[in-house]
Amino acid sequence: MFDKRFRKTVRMAKMLRKGERVAVGLSGGKDSTVLLHSLASLKKDLPFELVAITIDEGIEGYRARTMVPAKRECERLEIEQKIFSFKELCGKTLDELVAGSEKSRSQKQESALPCSQCGVLRRYALNKAAMETKADKLAIGHNLDDMAQTMMMNIMRAEPSRIARMNEPVLKSGRFVQRIRPLMLTPEKEIAIYAMLKGIALEHVECPYAGSAFRGHVRKMLNESEERYPGTKFKIMNSFLEMEGTLRERYSKGASLSLCPECGEPSSKGMCRFCQLSQ
């Protein structure tokens, strides 16, 4: 059932083509590791190149532990792994960025800022790494739960423009590597079960910054709704797929991209968010 849904998702969205070079964002967690295994299996029937990209954010006591299984699984599957770090990209680890901004934000903002910073930096780092590895596609391990949570977060924050670009940037650029999410229709619980059945040993450790994030609140709310009303997450995802095209069309009108004056990467508003956070 798991493999069937995975392959159906890839076919339905026409995510992969024969001969492409695919970079996998590999954190060492269950989602990205299972994604790596599933793509490695698919590669036997649909020949394409596979490379793993691991981003070291510089979170003490966390990332070093998950990088161990990430490296082990790459060696097990004989897949090349490239490691990039926030320190190399912007001169600071995430810990240093968070510590440097603690004095300038309120208690309410403080709970959300580390995850917000990390999200911006990780997206930038993954895209840059995928470009450097000459990848045609960038595979991300976002599952059904992740997608449903993101959808609800954007609705609760009244940010429909973010819904429009949940899958891909609204505007195309040769400097954006196309992202694919082969696990977007697979529930998180099924991924965990699949990992156990396949004998994939993982480090069960949570990011120290995740506890107070807004996503945690939404995750709890959706899990309670799913338990009471089974199928809730699938319905939210189907709603996203139904409205995605209309929203992308709306928000692409009048929009434009320029190049960040600092790093030269695409930006919709002068200096990109990566450079703003790195300063």
* Three-class SS of 184-238: CCCCHHHHHHHHHHCCCCCCCCCCCCCCCCHHHHHHHHHHHHHHHCCCHHHHHHH
pLDDT band at residue 112 using 50, 70 and 90 as cut-offs? very low
What local confidence, expressed as pLDDT, does residue 111 receive?
A: 39
199 — phi, psi (to 5°)?
70, 30
209-240 tens-digit pLDDT: 776 578 889 999 999 999 999 999 999 999 99
Contacts for 228 with CB less than 8 Å, ≥ 6 apart: none
Q: How far apart are CA 118 and CA 59, in angstroms?
A: 10
| 179 DSSP β-pair partners | 138
CATH fold of 2-278: Rossmann fold (3.40.50)
Q: How far apart are CA 47 and CA 20, in angstroms?
A: 8
35-72 tens-digit pLDDT: 999 999 999 999 999 999 999 988 888 888 888 889 99
Neighbours of 220 (CB within 10 A): 10
Query: Is pLDDT above 60 for 110?
Result: no
DSSP, collapsed to helix, strand or coil, labels residue 267 as: strand
What local confidence, expressed as pLDDT, does residue 63 receive?
A: 83
Q: What is the DSSP letter of 135?
A: -
Contacts for 143 with CB less than 8 Å, ≥ 6 apart: 31, 183, 184, 186, 187, 188, 191
Contact 33, 69 (CB under 8 A): yes
148-184 tens-digit pLDDT: 999 999 999 999 989 998 888 877 777 889 999 999 9
How buried is residue 258: exposed, middle or buried, by Cβ count under 10 Å (0-12/13-18/19+)?
exposed
pLDDT band at residue 201 using 50, 70 and 90 as cut-offs? confident
Q: Which long-range contacts (CB under 8 A, 24 or more apart) does 35-40 make?
A: 35/139, 35/140, 35/141, 35/182, 35/183, 36/73, 36/74, 36/77, 36/79, 37/73, 37/77, 37/198, 37/200, 38/3, 38/6, 38/182, 38/183, 39/139, 39/182, 40/77, 40/79
DSSP, collapsed to helix, strand or coil, labels residue 133 as: coil
